[in-house]
Structure 1
């Protein structure tokens, strides 16, 4: 019984949860305004604004109300071969929210949080990931990335298949 009571103390406060939901809504507005991902088919897209940092948007899966996306630069981490930075996004179009489910910015979430993080740690991490996503989307828009700079890029399929989490784990282990 005392374990149940102790766990309730570790629940996030409503204000942190409300802030996180607000970030999800803001990120949906930014992403929808910039790239209109709902109109994109499953595949690879490149946005080039002439700054030497091409952006890769991959539509991993598309369903009537949700999409799975990966957003990254065409830069690889020399240790793992994974795109860095990159963000995996889940778009809930019916709820008008975008959640960064995980990011790769030099380190994987397991390296940052451990395998069994406590709830406040996990919520704090989600807040940081989604705040990062919001700032990154804002930066990309300021630089000029938009649906008008986005073109289909099937040649990027080969690049993205080389940077899976399984490959990264093998690279780190070996």
Structure 2
């Protein structure tokens, strides 16, 4: 005999609500820490390159007592230049154990940085944040499934995320 549990509706967040966004931030933190249990030193670039998968780069941009900001990107070898996509800036809130997308990079052909959220008048910000962080969540799980990791001997230091012309 099975006992059917009835949970009050307030225990579950509505999709794309503020509460579900906070849950998504927590899930992103967990997945990011699985991918990278220990963060690199500020300014360092780490690369993960499991066989048969595109290289994944992680760079710590800023670190404070309660937060860290990093950039995460794939690098695909495609002539004439490497393609860096997707490329996201992520802020980790250590005390709250949350991670959120701050910025998408390369959103236009010129490759300049654009805010990830909303229109200039501020409409749709929650929806845009939810969408960007849902993408991060799916991407992190994809990377973990590909065998990417920035732990132990599997992460190597890289010179730079951006290829230089010599």
Matched, 1:156 2:160: yes
Deviations 1:1-34 (A, max 9, x none): xxxxxxxxxxxx9970000000000000111122
Instruction: Select the structure that is richer in helix.
Output: 1
Name the residue aligned to 1:63: 64
Instruction: Select the structure that is richer in strand.
Output: 2
Change (3 A) 1:129 1:161: farther
User: Paired residues, what number?
Assistant: 143
Q: Distance in 2 between matches of 1:61 and 1:26?
A: 22
Match of 1:118 among 116, 122, 129: 122
Contact 2:57–2:75 at 8 Å: present in 1 too? yes
Change (3 A) 1:15 1:134: closer
Provide structure 1 residue ranges, at least 5 long, that are not aligned to the other structure. Answer: 1-12, 163-174
Q: Distance in 1 between matches of 2:99 and 2:66?
A: 12
> RMSD value over aligned CA atoms?
3.1
Contact 2:16–2:130 at 8 Å: present in 1 too? no
Name the residue aligned to 1:127: 130
Q: Distance in 1 between matches of 2:115 and 2:78?
A: 17
* 3-state SS, counterpart of residue 141 of structure 2: helix
Aligned ranges 1:1-174 → 2 under 5 Å: 16-37=17-38, 39-42=39-42, 43-75=44-76, 83-104=84-105, 106-107=107-108, 109=114, 113-114=118-119, 116-119=120-123, 121-146=124-149, 147-148=151-152, 149-153=154-158, 155-156=159-160, 159=162
Provide structure 2 residue ranges, at least 5 long, that are not aligned to the other structure. Answer: 1-13
Q: TM-score scaled by structure 2?
A: 0.73
* 3-state SS, counterpart of residue 156 of structure 1: coil
Q: Comparing 102-111 with 16-25, which one deviates more in the overlay? A: 102-111
